[in-house]
Structure 1
Amino acid sequence: MATVSHYVPLGAGHVNPTIGIVAELVRRGHRVSCFVPERFAEQLTGTGARIVPVPSTWEAAGLADPPQMHGRHLVRAMGYLLEETRMLVPLLARHPAPDLVLHDGVLAIWGRVLAQRWTVPSVEVWPNLVSNRHWSMNRYSKVNPLGPRFLAMMMKYALYLRGEGIRDIREFFEGGAATQRLVTVPRAFQYAGETFENFRFVGPVLGDRAAETEGWTPPEDGRPVLLASLGSAYNRRPDLYRTILSATAGRGWHVVLSIGEVDPAELGPLPADVEVHRRVPQVSVLRHATVFVTHAGMGGTMEGLAAGVPLVALPQMAEQRANADRIAELGLGRALDPATVTADQLWAAVRETAADPGIRERLNRMAGEIAAAGGASAAADEIERALPRQD
């Protein structure tokens, strides 16, 4: 069996989609070593892989969330990413070269550098919408590729990458040298999905997350359940949580509200039909939910769609706005502007999505697309195809 080195960055949205893939590779007999920021080491222990906690300059710099690779934040984020790569590459290179590198395709670019250094195949995991000449995230991030700060940062990358023997900078950032690129989104959800030839859309990988699949039971009185969460990053929005509470108060629903690191005292008095948690077993709650009010991060979006739950999206950043617009475009729920939404508007969206039979029908079709994409099993098949032949 093969040896696989697995690299993920700081960020639950980048770690969670790989957990089931790693577990499936281990189940098939491969020896997987996960080099993961210490904060997420426990989440991967149940996979059976060897867990190697690694430091992160992002944590040392006090970044509460992974850097945003979008818009006005892009150049600063690229600087953080280069610093992280410079620190991790020599540290990770001390370990034996694997047969294959498996890494996050968005942020863990040190995987690309190491695969090039070791001349081993690499498989990238993209937990988000991807771009090509037909559709690009730049529609939302509005990056100016000719801006002086952007060009100066690209020169820094070029100097570093040339020192690693990498000349094609554009191909490097696009992951073009990867043996395979896996997208943990069904092709049907990807904008212009039919035009992407060099990606394998395996759909969300939701297995092997015990903490997310047990530990919550619905109310015994049979009231409809509303799950509301702004995810694990960029979620410090007590104002928005108060709007959610105001919208749902006295409606006869049971509300499960996940608030992250926000102080519950900032929410004010809580109605009796609301339970507030810093983190909830989301997959478990979604099994019983009637509507999911979400920030439209791709992890939560896919979990909601896989469960067949209508989505009301309150996006917080560029990537989430793209997801929210796609949810609305495909008729899987509603997208609202969190900067202007009122309690009445939010409740109207919840009520309409819950009652719309067309949304239910489209959700059923999307759930079928997700199941057909293959998930962890399909991802592991592609990884095994990428492995060098054993003579």
Structure 2
Amino acid sequence: MAMISHYAPLGAGHVNPTIGIVAELVRRGHDVTSFVPQRFADRMAATGARVVPVPSAWESAGLEDPPQMHSRHLIRAMGYLLEETTALMPLLTAHPRPDLVLHDGPLAVWGRVLAHHWAVPSVEVWPNLVSNRHWSMNRYSKVNPLDPRFIVMMLRFASYLRKYGIRDVGGFFEGTSATRRLVTVPRAFQYAGETFEGFRFVGPVLGDRAADSGWTPPAPDRPVLLVSLGSAYNRRPDLYRAIVSTAAVQPWHVVLSIGEVDPAGLGPLPPNVEVHPQVPQLSVLRHARAFVTHAGMGGTMEGIAARVPLVALPQMAEQRANADRISGLGLGRALDPDTVTPDRLWAAVDAVAEDPAVRERLAWMAGQIEAAGGAPAAADEIEAALP
């Protein structure tokens, strides 16, 4: 039995992919302690792991969404990461040294600092597309390395990391010091997937959330359409109003997940529309015939695993890359959220739901997900990384 410390940042898209992995490690007898923000404590406790809720500077500062590590948001996001890491390190180093550090790769960079500080192996979990010299997110979000603000931020980070004996700042941000890097996406979905070395594509780990309940499907005379723009970047009352105002004449039963948007501003609800702040997404997807999604990787993988045709409305650069992949692989369609009209949206929903080619491609990709190995494959990699 090994002592494993798990670290995840504020953001459901970065916590959810690790829940099943932590549960599998606990099932195998490992002593896992999960350090997560309070809002995820109950979710993690259900895995059987010991949970230590930690504060988040992002949350206390009123940061509405997890920072976007790309494009024009990169410099500000790096500042958030430095602030979060600086605040958490004194708290986390006060806990016993583990045998291995398991952490979110894109955002929980304090896991890298801790692994170096304790001189223990680390395993990173990447819940998104990854980059190498053959394919990079720079295709969707250019970063100017000569921007004076970027240089100043790198110098600030370098100064902080030197306190812990870390001098290769570029390698630090690329995660090259990790013992293992797990990607919760099947290799077939990754752009240029065959060119990637040093990553293990274990596919999405849905865990016990498949047992989520609390939603009752409608009468079987109407197909179910799920509309969800995720837990972040989902403040689109204009889109929700357009769907509500045009749904009455559609043959669909619409399940609309709107986050923190005020439902009172959506207008009268027709009988075939239900609105919720959030829904047990996997439960709804088991009954859905189409899924309008922001193309976040978590929702995308859940839709594919359930073999539900996708209509993507990406809200940010990473989601645009996912949306293009959905379209390019024949798993659904991608629409421009800035120009989409109700007529175009309903037409796309009807088209993907009735297209046998989309169903065939979804079945193929769902098979790729199953073959990737999920939580058992991830746990095997973590055990292989142990001293």
The TM-score normalised by the length of structure 1 is 0.97
Displacement of 1:75: 0.5
Alignment match, 2:60: 60
Distance 2:184 2:212 in 1: 19
Any conservation in 2 of the 1:246–1:343 contact (CA below 8 Å)?
no
Displacement of 1:91: 1.0
Distance 2:62 2:314 in 1: 24
Distance 1:87 1:72 in 2: 25
Distance 1:131 1:193 in 2: 10
Alignment match, 1:218: 217
Distance 2:87 2:44 in 1: 22
Any conservation in 2 of the 1:225–1:290 contact (CA below 8 Å)?
yes
SS of the residue 2:260 aligns to: coil
Query: Structure 1's 339 and 97: CA in aligned 2 closer, same or farther, altered over 3 A?
Result: same
Q: Deviations over 1:71-109 (max 9, x none)?
A: 111101110110100111121000010000000000000
Q: Deviations over 1:115-139 (max 9, x none)?
A: 0010000000000000000111111
Q: Aligned ranges for residues 235-314 of structure 1 at < 5 Å?
A: 235-314=234-313
Alignment match, 1:200: 200
Alignment match, 2:361: 362
Q: Percent identity?
A: 78
Structure 1: gaps spanning 5 or more residues: none
Displacement of 1:142: 1.4
Any conservation in 1 of the 2:327–2:334 contact (CA below 8 Å)?
yes
Displacement of 1:243: 2.3
Alignment match, 1:135: 135
Distance 2:241 2:321 in 1: 25
Alignment match, 1:172: 172
Structure 2: gaps spanning 5 or more residues: none
Any conservation in 2 of the 1:247–1:347 contact (CA below 8 Å)?
no
- Letter of the 2:272 counterpart: D
Q: Deviations over 1:39-86 (max 9, x none)?
A: 111111100000000011101111111111121111011101101001
Displacement of 1:247: 4.6
Distance 1:246 1:171 in 2: 51
Alignment match, 2:125: 125
Cα RMSD over matched residues?
A: 1.0
Distance 1:15 1:38 in 2: 12
SS of the residue 2:319 aligns to: helix
Alignment match, 2:156: 156
SS of the residue 1:102 aligns to: strand
Distance 1:258 1:359 in 2: 24
The 10-residue stretch of structure 1 (249-258 or 26-35) with the greater mean CA deviation from structure 2: 249-258
SS of the residue 1:340 aligns to: coil
Query: Structure 1's 200 and 187: CA in aligned 2 closer, same or farther, altered over 3 A?
Result: same
Alignment match, 2:69: 69
Query: Structure 1's 283 and 187: CA in aligned 2 closer, same or farther, altered over 3 A?
Result: same
Q: Deviations over 1:144-167 (max 9, x none)?
A: 111111111011111111221111
Alignment match, 2:3: 3
Q: Deviations over 1:166-185 (max 9, x none)?
A: 11111111111100000000
The 10-residue stretch of structure 1 (261-270 or 239-248) with the greater mean CA deviation from structure 2: 239-248
Distance 1:331 1:159 in 2: 47
Displacement of 1:249: 2.9
The TM-score normalised by the length of structure 2 is 0.98
Any conservation in 2 of the 1:182–1:379 contact (CA below 8 Å)?
yes
Any conservation in 2 of the 1:247–1:346 contact (CA below 8 Å)?
no
